[in-house]
Amino acid sequence: MSEQLYKESLKYHKDPKPGKLSVEPSKPCNTKYELSLAYSPGVAAPCQEIYKTPAKVFDYTNKGNLVAVITNGTAVLGLGNIGPAASKPVMEGKAVLFKHFAGIDVFDLEIKSDSVEDFVKTVKSLEPSFGGINLEDLKAPECFEIEERLKKEMNIPVFHDDQHGTAIISAAALINACEIQNKSLSKIKVVFNGAGAAALSCATLFIEIGVKKENIIFCDSSGVIYKNRKENINKYKQFWASSTKARSLQEALKDADVFCGLSVAGAVRVEDIKSMAKKPIVFALANPEPEILPELAKKSCQDIIIATGRSDFPNQVNNVLGFPSIFRGALDTHATHINTEMKLAAVYALSNLAKKNVPDSVSSAYNNKKFLFGPEYIIPTPFDERVLISVTTAVAKAAMESGVAQKNITDFEKYKEDLTRLQGLKQGFIRSTINKIKNNDICNKEKPVKIIFAEGESKRILKALNTLALDKICEPTLIGNSKKIQALIKQESLKNLDNIAIISPKESPNFENYMNKFYEKRQRKAISHAEAARLMTNPYYFSAMALHCGDFDTLISGAKQNYADCLKPILQIIGAKDKQTVAGLNILLLDDKMFFLTDTTVNIEPSSQQLAQIAIQTSIVAKYYGISPRIAMLSYSNFSGNTPLSKKMKEATQLVKQYKSNLIIDGEMQGDTAVNTDILNNIFSFSDLKEPANILVFPNLASSNISYKLLKNLGKLEVLGPFLTGINKPANILQRGASVDDIINSITLSVRAARIHQSPKKHLQTIKN
């Protein structure tokens, strides 16, 4: 570690307050009544229920989401036996990873004991408190006995991550490396250097995936572990003793297919790599310095695949790919153990995931690095958000099928939604929407939703469609140059877009028809035949006319063009619905709440009539999402303003009440009043709003646009949109800087809007039911 990194790490751990963890309550405790529920006397109720039915501890406490990370500090990283206190930063770090990658709460426990008996006794006594035990940084061979005993004597999952985490990730990497190198698992010769907990566990799992025990040679600090060796041996090493004539690592590596190092830096030389079989596979997993540096290994052998434990090299074998998701699956099924079936499920889930197209969000986390299955990418990266869903569901299914689950998951699509929500409200909301579209809860799926994209040559559009392709929620058509688009698809390895439809306006058989219809529509607006022909070559006008004529169900533009230029053809060709005003809408997600902000993009100074229309049409959108609308007409004053702006909001409120007397609406009011129950009920008890508003109508574009962009960037809210409302047919305009994820969200909600447009009454009835 460099001196600079050393100092920065100390500062990171010390400021602004020591450590990396804190405890946050999941229930409010702000009033005398809430205090009586949180503690005495109310807390006695769940105590009594758990006493009568012990399994209810999962209903009334955090046990089902709580893991203990436990160590005695005898084998910490590469630092050795530094004791429990000095190991605490590592255990806190492990807790951070559990929480960040799987939403699991952790208490780290550092036990002052070198005695196996005392350690086991202490951990066993913690069973009532935790849903699982993660053993960490225990020296070998004691760690084997500790885990074996705890697994036998406890009825909750016990998992020594140093052993099994490394084994699971390495096994997934080995499967894929062998596939790339065209090697058979049952025939490869594997040489291990290092015979500690991780190495022995790797070998055990390698056998489970098809490697033959007789093809495995172990080496340690005393050389090859061979039959009848007397020095530096124990029963765990003895199990792997081979009958080879090799006595050194160098001799063992001759003609070997795979090297797996969990030992020391520099243990492998360039000449050792050259002596291996063709297309060798090298896992140099010593930390912080590997057994051989990748650049040296590649110089000696161009067709090598090499993985390390470091993030600055390709193919990082990182345990964070395993333990958070494995425990998530174990906890959610109330598994009594993490067994071999569950570990293998994780192995194959990771192996298969590496072969799929990598989302743009993952690439952006790694400075837009391109990940393609091959020698430089044999396992997923730690910041691939798909790992949680893929591994957790596989582990949960394995727990149920192998009989260790005490709770069955009956709806795995819903379970995947819940897992996605752990990674962010927005992701969970979009996954839920995709599932609803796929499950036909919106309307009968007689035909797919046809979307036309005005900017088919946008890389971000292509990447978004490639990600969504497997869900099959829409039938996309791209406007653009076919050769250019196909070249981009090939360049970005977007394999799911091989057969995507591409049209050029001039070459479209509909060009003449669209041009004539546009001329008919705009001939009294100073549009000549020639001008109509010119505009119809514009992808934004062409796509709007294609939607207007019914050849598509919705359109999306804005990835490359400014908002106003995209909006103009939509307004001219598609236009507003009768008695409605085209407006921009943003959806805000906060915890389990959904808010609708409008008008955020279209009308600079809307009139009271327009604001009333916008409020009503937004209430319809809210109902489509199962939300009972409560509307606040916002201003800088509470029911007392006399300026033109305040009066406008009051008039708009009265118009809504006149047009739709069943809607809950009030105003004008300040923003905090609109969303704060105490203010509404205690200061303005006369207000028609008795609960916080979920539709916030702003007086003008300046206030709304500034507000939603500030909230998006400064608050803990997640923001979707903007989306267009009040338009004759569903059409959406992206923000020009929209990310691939933003585009995925827009496509998904556009598909839903198109489905609703096809059958609005049926959709509302579905929600009502």
Give me the residue label for tokens 């059409």.
731
Stretch (H or E) spanning 501: strand 501-503
User: What residues pair up with 556 in beta bridges, in sequence order?
Assistant: 453, 732
Nearest to 657 by CA among 669, 644, 645, 667: 667
- Spatial distance between the Cα atoms of 443 and 463, rounded to a whole number of angstroms: 28
94 is catalytic: yes
Give Dmax over CA atoms of the chain in angstroms: 100
Respond yes or no: is residue 39 known to be catalytic.
Answer: yes
Read off the tokens for 548: 């207007």
**Of 707, 720, 712, 643, which is closest to residue 674 (Cα–Cα)?**
707
- Determine which one of 7, 12, 33, 39 is catalytic: 39
**CB-CB contact of 614 with 701 (8 Å):** no
Query: How is 665-712 classified by DSSP, letter by letter?
Result: EEEEE-HHHHH-HHIIIII-TTSS-SS--SEEE-SSHHHHHHHHHHHH
Please, are residues 172 and 379 in contact by the beta-carbon 8 Å criterion?
A: yes
For residues 135 and 197, give the distance between their C-alpha atoms in angstroms, rounded to a whole number. 12
Q: Give whole-number Cα distances, 730 to 47, 585, 701, 768, in Å.
A: 53, 13, 22, 23
For tokens 């050389």, the residue is 223
Closest C-alpha among 154, 166, 146 to residue 70: 146
Give the count of alpha carbons within 13 A of 193, CB side only.
29
DSSP string, 276-325: SPSS-EEEE--SSS-SS-HHHHHHH-TT-EEEES-TTSSSB--GGGTHHH
d(CA 48, CA 54): 10
Is residue 720 within a helix (H) or strand (E), and if so which, with residue range?
strand 718-725
Across-strand partners of 554? 451
Contact 206, 190 (CB under 8 A): yes
Looking at residue 275, its amino acid is S
Segment (H or E) for 132: strand 132-135
Residue among 63, 88, 94, 237 flagged as catalytic: 94
Amino acid of residue 688: D
CA–CA separation, 475 and 389 (whole Å): 26
Residues 6+ apart with CB under 8 A from 452: 476, 477, 479, 543, 546, 547, 551, 552, 554, 555, 556
Q: 631: phi > 0 → left, psi -120 to 50 → alpha, else beta; which?
A: beta
CB 70 within 8 A of CB 29: no
Give the three-state DSSP class for 732: strand
| CA nearest to 232, candidates 149, 140, 136 | 140
Contacts 24+ apart (CB under 8 A), 55-59: 55/406, 57/128, 58/131, 58/334, 58/407
Residue 740 one-letter amino acid:
V
DSSP-assigned letter for residue 129: T
CB 671 within 8 A of CB 595: no
Look-up: residue for tokens 């229920």?
49
CB 218 within 8 A of CB 192: yes
The residues that bridge with 216 in the sheet, in sequence order, are 190
Q: DSSP class of residue 412? A: H
Which sequence positions are flagged as catalytic? 39, 94
